[in-house]
Amino acid sequence: WTHVYPQVRKDTRGRYPKHPWPEDPFTAVAQQGVKRK
């Protein structure tokens, strides 16, 4: 996952803009809900 996540993040950021895509998912704090437009 350490080597795959950067590519997954790059490929899916545009498709799922409401999803938080942290640089380091192992230290990221979980968020509740989604960003509203």
Give tens-digit pLDDT for 19-37.
889 999 889 988 887 666 6
Give the whole-angstrom CA distance, residue 3 versus residue 15. 21
The total number of structural domains in the chain stands at 1
Which are the contacts of 20, defined by CB distance < 8 A and separation ≥ 6?
A: 28, 31
Residue given tokens 């996540």 in the structure block: 5
Whether 3 is covered by a domain: the verdict is yes
pTM (2 d.p.): 0.64
Half-sphere exposure of residue 3, counting CA atoms within 13 Å on the CB side?
Answer: 0
Structural domain includes residue 36:
no
In a domain, 15, yes or no: yes
Whether residue 21 is contained in a domain is answered as yes
Look up the domain containing 6 and give its range.
1-25
- The whole-chain average pLDDT of the chain stands at 87
